[in-house]
Amino acid sequence: MNYLSLISFSVSGLASVTAFQIWLYRFAYQQGYDVGKHCGFTNGLYQGKIRENHRLTEQANKSKMSTSWANSNSSKRMSTV
């Protein structure tokens, strides 16, 4: 009987610690979004998306510049010929 009560107390203690951690994470997560700040894992995703958009924008600008240069150069050749 002693083992059964020890196991029951261990399981209930582990469940209460887990429940407290979930509550604490939820509380901190909600506080961050109430003030408009992303925290933790979502901040990493947010910053990664910003970097990806910045990189894609730079690539698009470079391709526009190289395409416009090629188009302007080819049109000059065609007009002189």
pTM of the model: 0.41
Total residues belonging to the chain: 81
Delimit the domains of the chain by residue range.
Answer: 1-37, 43-81
Alpha helices, H only, the chain: 2-34, 41-80
| Tens-place pLDDT, residues 41-77 | 677 777 778 888 888 888 888 876 655 555 555 554 5
Ramachandran assignment for 39, one of left (phi > 0), alpha (psi -120 to 50 degrees), beta (any other): beta
pLDDT of 40 above 80: no
The Cα–Cα gap between 65 and 57 comes to 12
Whether 19 contacts 30, CB under 8 Å:
no
Q: Residue 7: its pLDDT value, please?
A: 94
Confidence of residue 81 (pLDDT cuts 50, 70, 90): very low
11-31 pLDDT tens trace: 999 999 999 999 988 887 777
